[in-house]
Every structure is written in C-alpha cells, then in structure tokens.
A = this chain, B = another copy of it.
C-alpha cells in the first residue's frame, strides 16, 4: 500500500475538480493533505483547457447545474483524448432524474478510470447497464435517501459475495474500476475485488467524506498509472484509516466538526508504514 501514497507525494499530481460547492473546500484540503495539488474550474470557457494542464479530472455531480454539466462533458472528453485519468463521483444518483440521467449520460460520453459512490448510487448506475444478465432494477434502485445510502441497499456479510459478483460484472461492462464505500468497502476492476474494512460509521456524520475520497483517489490514480486497482484500494484504505486514527485522538467534547478536521490532519500525517500496517483488506 505504501508505495501508492509515496508516489502521490513524489509526483504531486495536479487534480482538476468539477465538484459541488458543499464540500469543495474539504476536497481541496484533502488533495493537499495527501500530497497532491487541486484546481477547481467549471466554466465551459476553460474546463477542457484546465484539464489539459492537469494529470487527471474528478467529476462530482453533487450540485450539478445546467452550466456545469456541459463543462463535465467537455473536460471529460478532453481528458480521455489526452489519456489522462478521469474519476466520477455520482453524488445523489437515484435521488433525482437529473442526477440519474446526467450520470448515465456521462458514462456514455466519457470513459472513467474509476467510479466511486455509495451502494445506492452505484446500484442506480448499474440499473442503466443491465450487466451480463443481472436485472439490478429488482434491487429497489428507485428508493433513495438523498445523498446517503439506503439502508436496504447496505452491503452485509450475508450479501457480500453476491454483491461482489454484481459489482465485478458492472466494472467489466463499464470498463471502470468501481469503488463502493460504506461500512464494508469494495474496490474492483472486474477481475479482483478488494474488500476493505477500514473506517468508522461516525464518518457518515461529516458531510463530504465521500467527495474527499474521490478527490484523493484521482490523485492516487494519476501517480500510479501502472497499478490503478491497487492505487484505488490504497486511497480507500487511507481515508478509512485516517477516520480510525482521527477518532482515537478525539476528546470527550469533540463532535463531527472536529472529527472532520482531524481526518484531514490524519491524511496529512499518514506515513507509508502506518498505512501498510493499518490497511485491513482481503482480495476476492
């Protein structure tokens, strides 16, 4: 795991983010914390050009609008053209027709190296693919809890193997690494699947830990082009482990705001050895 983080710190990749205005500041600080450098630019007049000077692009649809959707497409296509990394965070896919349609349109127009979301968001995207005979619509995609995962969708030890198979199939169909984060995280390239058990449930009481991870994941992929699956898994482990380390350091009166700061701090201070020892995963 540690070489992936080390490469981010060595290469200091520049990450172009077209992201929501809710969590954008934390996304920028997490990208800096892991050793990369962020730039945000969402106007159609510069989106493709900014992407061309960066190592990769992180598209997050958290507060998508009519002005930024064309910028996502233009920047995504340019990034593809240049062979740069592109990551999608389909925030709230399933919560509105606009989000679902935009996510599906982006999957059609742009090739993504990786897609990171919660299980409900990924199930929504899977429904658009009907990958290899699975009818994902039966899984109740139309239920939504806004930008949070639906409890009914939760990955458990019981449905783990079945879910892994479905997600692998979706990964192959989309040609993208799929990273699903929640109590159990899955990261697959369609062939192997990392099952990751880092993190704490209290991270869901902070807005944007998912968005932050997508930004950091983009940096990890840029810095590790030879092993994107490993790099994606390392980014997910880094975020989860930072959540564990930060939690241990909290005092009695601390709450979700201090926890937010402490997680970013823990990423800033994460060393390769701690990551290597703290990463809890198996490959299936």
Interface residues of A (CB under 8 A from B): 14, 20-26, 28-29, 32-33, 37-46, 49-50, 53-54, 62-67, 92, 95-99, 144-148, 205-208, 249, 253-258, 260-269
Q: Of B96, B145, B253, which is within 8 A of A50 by CB?
A: B96
Docked-complex contact A46 and B268, CB < 8 angstroms: no
A25 and B23 contact, CB distance less than 8 A: yes
Contact A53-B268, Cβ < 8 Å, known A26-B25, A207-B32, A207-B38: no
Please tell me if the beta carbons of A257 and B29 are within 8 angstroms of each other in the complex. Answer: yes
Task: Give Cα distance in the complex from A137 to B26, angstroms.
Answer: 35
Judge whether A148 and B37 touch: CB under 8 Å: yes
List residues of chain B with CB within 8 A of the CB of A253.
249, 262, 265-266, 269
In Å, the complex CA distance between A131 and B150 comes to 46
* 11 new A-B contacts at CB < 8 Å, known A32-B256, A44-B66, A257-B265: A21-B21, A29-B206, A32-B206, A37-B146, A41-B63, A45-B98, A54-B146, A253-B265, A255-B267, A257-B260, A257-B261
Contact among B23, B39, B258 for A265, CB-based, below 8 A: B258
Q: Tell me, in angstroms, the Cα distance from A40 to B46 when the chains sit together.
A: 24
Question: Is A254 touching B258 in the complex (CB atoms < 8 A)?
Answer: no
Which residues on B sit within 8 Å (CB–CB) of A206? 29, 32
Within the assembled complex, what's the spacing in Å between the Cα atoms of A115 and B210? 32
Number of copies: 3
- Contact in complex: B22, A25 (CB < 8 Å): yes
Given known A-B contacts A20-B40, A64-B43, A257 and B33 have beta carbons under 8 A apart: yes
> Could you list 27 examples of A-B contacts with CB < 8 Å?
A14-B146, A20-B40, A21-B40, A25-B207, A29-B207, A32-B205, A32-B206, A37-B145, A37-B146, A38-B147, A43-B63, A43-B64, A43-B98, A45-B98, A46-B97, A49-B97, A53-B96, A67-B67, A253-B262, A253-B265, A253-B266, A255-B265, A255-B268, A257-B261, A257-B262, A257-B268, A258-B262
Bound state CA distance, A249 and B33, in angstroms? 19
| Minimum CB–CB distance for A186 against chain B, Å | 23
Give Cα distance in the complex from A53 to B99, angstroms: 14
Answer whether A28 and B37 are a contact pair too, CB < 8 Å, given A45-B98, A98-B46: no
